[in-house]
Amino acid sequence: MNKIRTFAFAATLGFTAYCTSACAQDVTLPTPTKNETAGSLTKALNDRHSTRQFTDRQLTDQTLSDLLWAADGVNRPDGKRTAPSAMNRQDVTIYVGKDDGTFRYDAAANKLIKIGSSDLRIAAADRNKFIKTAPIVLVIASNNKLTGGNKAISGLNVGAVMQNVYLFCAANGLSTVCCYAGDAPAEMQKFLGIKEDMVPLVYMPVGY
C-alpha cells in the first residue's frame, strides 16, 4: 500500500511539474523582421503621433515580435539592446497584455512568458478607458535595483523604449499613445506579481 501511495504521489508531482511548464502557454515569437529598406527614419519621425482610438483588428505574432524587438530587443551578440540604457543597466522590462492573458517579454529568448490569465488592458485602463479597446497594451517598467533608485535614469531608459515603440508604430501603420502609469504603482505591481523594486512607468496601448 505504501508503494502505491508513493507512486501516486510521485505521479501527482510529475503531472504538476508538467502542467507548470506545458500548460503555462508561453509564446515563442517568430524571428523579428529586420528589413532595413522598409522605410526611412525621417518619414517615421514625420508620421509619429499619438492615437487614442483603435479598431478591433488584431496584431499578428509576427507584428508583435517585430514591435517588441524594435522596442527593446537584442540587436548584438553581446546581448545589448535596440534601446540604450544608462551604463547598460538594462533595467527595463516590458509586460504585454492581450486577449489571451498577460505576458513578460523575454528579449534574450524572443519569447512571451505567460504570468497570468487576467486582462492587463482592463487593469491599465483605470484612468484611460480607451486602453481596453486596443488589441494589446505594453506596460514598461524599470527595476530600481538596477538603477540604484535613480528616478532620472529610470525615466531616461523607459523613455528610450517608449520612443522606439512610437517610431515602429509610425513606420508600420500602427497606432499608439504614451500614458503615464501614475504615482501609486502598488496595484499594478500586485496585478503583475512583481516586487516593489520593479516600477511600471508607462502604459502604451497598440493597435490599428
d(CA 95, CA 121): 11
pTM: 0.87
* List of domains in the chain: 26-207 (3.40.109.10)
26-51 pLDDT, tens digit each = 999 999 987 765 578 999 999 999 99
90-149 pLDDT, tens digit each = 999 999 999 999 999 999 999 999 999 999 999 999 999 999 999 999 999 999 999 999
Asked if residues 91 and 104 have their Cβ atoms less than 8 Å apart, the reply is: no
